[in-house]
Structure 1
Amino acid sequence: MSSAKPFIFVCGADDFLVNRAGKTRFGELAREVEDEFSREMLSGFASNVAEVEAAVGRFRESVQTVSMFGGRRLVWLKDVNFLADTPTGRAESTLKVVEDLQELLAKVNPAEVLVLITAAPIDRRRAFYKWCEKTADFVFTGGAGTDKNADALAGVVMAEARVLGVTFSEGALRLLLARVGPNTRLLIEETHKLATALDEGAAVIEEPLVDELTPNVAEGDFFEAAEAFFSGDLKWTLAALHRHFFGGGDARPVISSLQNRNRLLLQVRALVDAGDLRPGPRGFSKADLDRAAETYGRHFAGATEKSAYNLFTQHPFYLGKLADAKKLPGMRRLIDNQMELVNAFEEIIRRPAEQEDVLREMTVRCLGA
């Protein structure tokens, strides 16, 4: 598995994907270097120029060390972050150290030492990156901007699913991305969980399975309070708030989560009352939502990113679950909720030491009637 190139360079936008690819490659190379004392892993993580210099210094010393038993050595410089477009990465001193690193790598003899470098994120405009593309056994993994690009994240999920011998329906994939958000590690873990949960012989993960097994972690740990509040269950909501504050939570993210959902429900309520949307057992019809978007989408001109301000950026299945016809509050209740949330935010500014009390009082006013 050794490379004819002087070293191996694995990079990308997502540190989890890059580290996973590096770990796989290191395992393959380790089979060629049986002596565990001849294998070394070094951290390339640096938060300032001094740490960059120290990391490259350790790497230089390791690469130039002769094996105790005369065989080849294996050195992995992992978690390199000083090749990114950051203040540390742009510093003149860092760029000089990177030039020294390039000079060192150009002289590596793979017959004596196998070198693996993993770096994320990385500035692809830099000369060092382009030099590595031409010189190294080079791998770019995860796609550009994986941490922000939904298409790239979808590609990661589908690639993982193929490895597991399954696939996602289009709706299930969108719902998974909506539930988990831009967390590559968790997306992969959820893909494994969903694949394992499929019935024997089944190969397609559908929306209901994602809805049943994947929590809505994209909204954070305060999701339970929002779920309880909009179910109308006063006792559950108060208990969820207590758990949130007992764990040292703050009121602001809870209020933000409640406001985001309330905004969506206001829009849904208006469209349901107008007859433009009809809740069904599998959420809202995509055709209905598309027709409504054609009619009202002009009011959201330029708003293409997923947002609670624009229900047309949301997944129809998610909207339908959010706005269960049996639990969808009336317009007056939703407007009152919004005013109560604004008042609660102002109140916690006045009573910062009583945040739980403020939200409990607000909840009782909204749900206790």
Structure 2
Amino acid sequence: MAQRKAGEVEAFLSRPDTSFPVVLLYGPDPGLVSERANTVARLSGVDAADPFASVVLAADELERDIGRLFDEARTVSMFGGRRLVRIKGAGNGKNLADAAADLARDPPPGVTVVIEAGDLKKSSALRVQIERGHAAMALPCFPDEARALDKMIDEELAASKLSIDRATRELLRTRLGANRMASRSEVQKLCLYALGQAAVTEADVETIVGDVSADTVDESVDAAASGEVRRLPDLLERLVASGTSTHQLHSALQRHFQQLLLMRAEVEGQGTPVSAAVEKRRPHFRRKPAMEAALSAWTGEAIAAVLQRIEADILLSRREAALSVTIMRRTLTEIGVEAARRRTRSRR
């Protein structure tokens, strides 16, 4: 089968095998998928800025007009040389999977096809077709583990002739998000700030690298549950920019409403005051007002319905990985709007 394990991908990309002109990169980290797709594109030898030699296609558009993929793949470069066809946002579309099977079985000469996809299951038609194709390669891209993250940090520091001690490295790790490209951007920004020094310091990291993901997840969950709808767009933009996975946010939202359901049972079944029910959980003082507002707004029945909705959206995000960010935005926004309505009604 034409595939590599997650731990073998970096080695494969360092010694690319040109007998695989069709390459699928997939995984839950879109930044890592995109970064490695950039590497494959660069190794193809095609100038990505040349519109006569390179083209970028959207997977959802190809589902409506798959013929365009074959037209682009079989087009001969105007000035000779190889061509690059790059497909973004692939998921579980049947037409693209069937087309990938055809290209993997009989690839047009002089063309490299790079497909970027979300977190595809093993049974996904696109993965199955690529892994079966004799001229195709499937490369899984999973979020940075410690060794891969250290490798990226070392690459950027070496390029800027900077060193880093163990304590500073640990601090830097904790502040990097789940998105490879976003993490690399943060390290590059840090190196630029420390340029001219011999080493990066903890003070440099604290000044430059923002720990946005964890705090912003809590803020986003609280804003949605308590009906602070106006805060959501900015919070969601910060989460997307930091590379926070949609699964992380959906999971945090699910845990929060499960906790609200338990507290609401105490309020409705035992007559416990809202403030006392919240205080028993010992939340951070910054989150306490939002938790009290949410607990006051939602009934037990309504919370149970929200939990069913969140579970359905989590499953939908897994099936339609390319739309996971859109699904996440919709989930939080619609919950926030409903919470705001409930708070308004309770004041009347």
Q: TM-score, normalised by structure 2?
A: 0.50
State how far apart, in whole Å, the 2-side matches of 1:214 and 1:336 are. Answer: 23
State how far apart, in whole Å, the 1-side matches of 2:52 and 2:284 are. Answer: 68
Q: Is the 8 A contact 1:6 1:110 kept in 2?
A: no
Letter in 1 for 2:103: L
State how far apart, in whole Å, the 2-side matches of 1:211 and 1:108 are. Answer: 50
State how far apart, in whole Å, the 2-side matches of 1:123 and 1:343 are. Answer: 39
How far does the alpha carbon of each residue in 1:129-162 deviate from its partner, in whole angstroms, 9 at most, with x for none?
Answer: 4235x633x47364x3x1xxxxx34344322222
State how far apart, in whole Å, the 2-side matches of 1:66 and 1:210 are. Answer: 49
User: How is 1:276-287 mapped onto 2 (pairs within 5 angstroms)?
Assistant: none
Give the match for residue 276 of structure 1. Answer: none
Give the match for residue 115 of structure 1. Answer: 113
Residue 149 of structure 2 corresponds to residue 140 of structure 1: no
Q: Is the 8 A contact 1:10 1:21 kept in 2?
A: no
State how far apart, in whole Å, the 2-side matches of 1:67 and 1:181 are. Answer: 40
Q: TM-score, normalised by structure 1?
A: 0.48
Give the match for residue 207 of structure 1. Answer: 202
Q: How far is 1:9 from its partner?
A: 0.9
State how far apart, in whole Å, the 1-side matches of 2:50 and 2:192 are. Answer: 37
Residue 123 of structure 2 corresponds to residue 128 of structure 1: no
State how far apart, in whole Å, the 2-side matches of 1:108 and 1:335 are. Answer: 58
Residue 150 of structure 2 corresponds to residue 158 of structure 1: yes
Residue 76 of structure 2 corresponds to residue 61 of structure 1: no
How far does the alpha carbon of each residue in 1:31-63 deviate from its partner, in whole angstroms, 9 at most, with x for none?
Answer: 57996424322222x3xxxx5533643211212
Alignment gaps of 5+ in structure 2: 1-14, 236-254, 257-278, 300-338, 344-348
23 and 97 in structure 1: CA distance in 2 versus 1, 3 angstrom threshold: closer
- Give the greater-gyration-radius structure (CA): 1
Give the match for residue 188 of structure 1. Answer: 184
How far does the alpha carbon of each residue in 1:267-302 deviate from its partner, in whole angstroms, 9 at most, with x for none?
Answer: xxxxxxxxxxxxxxxxxxxxxxxxxxxxxxxxxxxx
State how far apart, in whole Å, the 1-side matches of 2:184 and 2:20 are. Answer: 32
State how far apart, in whole Å, the 2-side matches of 1:32 and 1:339 are. Answer: 54
> How high is the sequence identity, in percent, across the aligned residues?
19
178 and 55 in structure 1: CA distance in 2 versus 1, 3 angstrom threshold: farther
Q: How far is 1:211 from its partner?
A: 2.2
State how far apart, in whole Å, the 2-side matches of 1:31 and 1:97 are. Answer: 23
State how far apart, in whole Å, the 2-side matches of 1:66 and 1:41 are. Answer: 16
State how far apart, in whole Å, the 1-side matches of 2:216 and 2:49 are. Answer: 45
3-state DSSP class of the match of 1:216? coil
35 and 53 in structure 1: CA distance in 2 versus 1, 3 angstrom threshold: closer
349 and 249 in structure 1: CA distance in 2 versus 1, 3 angstrom threshold: farther
3-state DSSP class of the match of 2:114? strand
Q: How far is 1:7 from its partner?
A: 0.8
Residue 58 of structure 2 corresponds to residue 43 of structure 1: yes
25 and 4 in structure 1: CA distance in 2 versus 1, 3 angstrom threshold: closer
How far does the alpha carbon of each residue in 1:110-130 deviate from its partner, in whole angstroms, 9 at most, with x for none?
Answer: 34x343333343334543242
Q: Is the 8 A contact 1:124 1:130 kept in 2?
A: no
User: How is 1:1-369 mapped onto 2 (pairs within 5 angstroms)?
Assistant: 4-5=18-19, 7-13=21-27, 14-29=29-44, 31=46, 36-44=51-59, 46=60, 51=61, 53-54=63-64, 56-68=66-78, 71-82=80-91, 88=92, 94=94, 98-111=97-110, 113-124=111-122, 126-131=127-132, 135-136=135-136, 138=137, 140=139, 142=141, 144=142, 146=143, 152-164=144-156, 165=158, 166=162, 169-198=165-194, 200-203=196-199, 205-220=200-215, 248-249=230-231, 337=285, 342-347=291-296, 352=340
State how far apart, in whole Å, the 1-side matches of 2:119 and 2:41 are. Answer: 19
Q: Is the 8 A contact 1:4 1:110 kept in 2?
A: no
3-state DSSP class of the match of 2:113? strand
Larger relative contact order (Cα-Cα within 8 Å, sequence gap ≥ 6):
2
Q: Please identify runs of 4+ aligned residues in structure 1 that moved more than 6 A.
A: 32-35
Number of residue-to-residue matches in the alignment: 234
Q: Is the 8 A contact 2:48 2:84 kept in 1?
A: no
Letter in 1 for 2:85: W
State how far apart, in whole Å, the 2-side matches of 1:4 and 1:336 are. Answer: 54
Q: Is the 8 A contact 2:163 2:198 kept in 1?
A: no
Alignment gaps of 5+ in structure 1: 83-87, 147-151, 225-240, 254-306, 309-330, 356-369
Q: How far is 1:189 from its partner?
A: 1.4
336 and 131 in structure 1: CA distance in 2 versus 1, 3 angstrom threshold: closer
How large is the Cα RMSD of the aligned pairs?
4.7
